[in-house]
């Protein structure tokens, strides 16, 4: 097996181009090392362009090789994309968070991957570069081809970074999950919300839950019901009920029944909405 650590973008693209199908990108390796390894691995954990955390003209740029631990430690991310730092804080254990990356979390395509759910609620877009040099920007949901199956071929294309709009004033976000234990356990269900408030009413809402479908799942009906609603407990209760009606969940012998998961999604939806609304008011200085 060959293992190459790359430090700049040209190196990655030319390595992907020259090495063919048997080479694959690796970041933290926390998912990939559980699989049958390819002959050649291309380590992007030191790739400067994929390690950025910065705000540029109302946009947050968050590198795909940023680890969960680094995301949690970033005051800028905590201020601008709180749902993401909350999600990253709950991944695995300190060891897993020190190695595992945001890009790996999304490309691994587990249906309830914590950071992916938060990124989808934040409306993050993924920037990708093919070895030919072609670039494209896609929604998080477009990166999924099926359960545990990515639409991205990591032998040909690099997920470089995520782009999140950070210019909305009066917005807030939150993430919550429940797992069998507080660490080293995948979530039974998770939820994330991003919302914008004006005059104490909801103006825009993005609500994402998992595991429901292969990709993090937007609850469009519940979102539209919430627009224009006041920031009161009744709104969160109604949204919880609407979310339970909207989701079609599966039970699992290993995790929990479908009924319990549906109930849980309702509870988590109520929680993330209330917390995100509180944060939006604080951001506007109205709390
Ligand atoms: C014990 C344990 C506990 C865990 N707990 C959780 C948990 O609670 N919540 C959770 O969400 N996840 C959990 N995970 C899963 C895992 O840690 C995360 O999904 C992590 O974010 C994966 O990132 P990585 O950098 O290690 O990915 P890697 O293993 O390096 O890569 C994963 C996949 O993505 C591809 N890839 C990686 N980066 C890129 C890129 N930039 N461009 C293109 N392709 C890329 C690789 O080729 C591979 O196919 C756990 C894993 C373990 C082992």
118 lines ligand 1 (CB under 6 A): no
pTM of the model: 0.97
Question: What pLDDT was estimated at residue 286?
Answer: 63
Spatial distance between the Cα atoms of 280 and 80, rounded to a whole number of angstroms: 11
Question: What pLDDT was estimated at residue 162?
Answer: 98
Atom of ligand 1 nearest to the CA of 34: 53
Q: Which residue's structure tokens are 């993005």?
A: 206
Question: What pLDDT was estimated at residue 181?
Answer: 92
Spatial distance between the Cα atoms of 12 and 33, rounded to a whole number of angstroms: 20
pLDDT in tens, the chain (287 residues): 899 999 999 999 999 998 777 789 999 999 999 988 889 999 999 999 999 999 999 999 999 999 999 999 999 999 999 999 999 999 999 999 999 999 999 999 999 999 999 999 999 999 999 999 999 999 999 999 999 999 999 999 999 999 999 987 899 999 999 999 988 998 999 999 999 999 999 999 999 999 999 999 999 999 999 999 999 999 999 999 999 999 999 998 888 999 999 999 999 999 999 999 999 999 887 66
**Ligand 1 pocket test: which of 104, 114, 115, 181 has the largest number of ligand atoms within 8 Å of its C-beta?**
104
Neighbours of 138 (CB within 10 A): 14
Q: Are 22 and 39 in contact (CB under 8 A)?
A: yes
Cα(245) to centroid(ligand 1), Å: 31
Tokens at 137, concatenated: 């920007």
Contacts of 137 (CB under 8 A, 6+ apart): 125, 126, 127, 128, 163
Cα(220) to centroid(ligand 1), Å: 28
Spatial distance between the Cα atoms of 182 and 179, rounded to a whole number of angstroms: 7
User: Do 50-165 and 171-284 come out as alike in CATH topology?
Assistant: no
Question: What pLDDT was estimated at residue 253?
Answer: 83
Residue-range domain boundaries for the chain = 50-165, 171-284
Spatial distance between the Cα atoms of 63 and 12, rounded to a whole number of angstroms: 15
Q: Are 62 and 80 in contact (CB under 8 A)?
A: no
Spatial distance between the Cα atoms of 176 and 220, rounded to a whole number of angstroms: 19
62 lines ligand 1 (CB under 6 A): no
Please give the CATH architecture assigned to the domain spanning 50-165: 2-Layer Sandwich (3.30)
CATH class, range 171-284: alpha beta
- Taking CA atoms only, the protein residue closest to ligand 1 atom 25 is 28
- N-terminal to C-terminal alpha carbon distance within the chain: 57
Q: State how far the alpha carbon of 61 is from the alpha carbons of 38, 168, 198, in Å.
A: 30, 15, 26
107 lines ligand 1 (CB under 6 A): yes
β-bridge mates for residue 143, sequence order: none
Q: Are 253 and 243 in contact (CB under 8 A)?
A: no
């Amino acid at each position: 097996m060959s293992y190459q650590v790359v430090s700049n973008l040209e190196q990655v693209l030319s390595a992907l181009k020259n090495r063919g199908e048997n080479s694959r990108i690796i970041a933290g390796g926390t998912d990939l090392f559980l699989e049958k390894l390819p002959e050649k691995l291309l380590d992007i954990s030191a790739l400067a362009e994929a390690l950025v955390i910065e705000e540029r003209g109302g946009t947050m740029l968050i590198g795909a090789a940023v680890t969960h631990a680094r995301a949690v430690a970033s005051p800028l991310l905590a201020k601008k994309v709180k749902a993401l730092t909350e999600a990253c804080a709950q991944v695995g254990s300190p060891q897993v968070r020190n190695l595992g990356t945001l890009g790996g979390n999304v490309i691994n395509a587990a249906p309830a991957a914590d950071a992916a759910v938060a990124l989808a609620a934040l409306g993050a877009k993924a920037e990708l570069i093919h070895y030919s040099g072609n670039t494209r920007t896609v929604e998080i949901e477009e990166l999924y081809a099926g359960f545990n199956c990515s639409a991205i071929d990591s032998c040909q294309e690099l997920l470089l970074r995520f782009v999140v709009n950070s210019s909305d004033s009066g917005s807030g976000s939150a993430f919550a999950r429940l797992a069998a234990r507080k660490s080293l356990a995948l979530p039974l269900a998770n939820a994330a919300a991003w919302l914008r408030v004006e005059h104490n009413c909801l103006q825009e809402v993005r609500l994402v839950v998992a595991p429901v479908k292969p990709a993090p799942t937007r609850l469009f009906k519940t979102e539209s019901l919430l627009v224009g609603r006041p920031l009161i407990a009744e709104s969160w209760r109604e949204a919880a009920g609407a979310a339970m009606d909207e989701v079609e969940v599966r039970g699992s012998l290993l995790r929990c029944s479908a009924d319990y998961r549906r109930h849980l999604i309702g509870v988590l939806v109520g929680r993330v909405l209330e917390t995100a609304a509180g944060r939006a008011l604080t951001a506007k200085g109205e709390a």
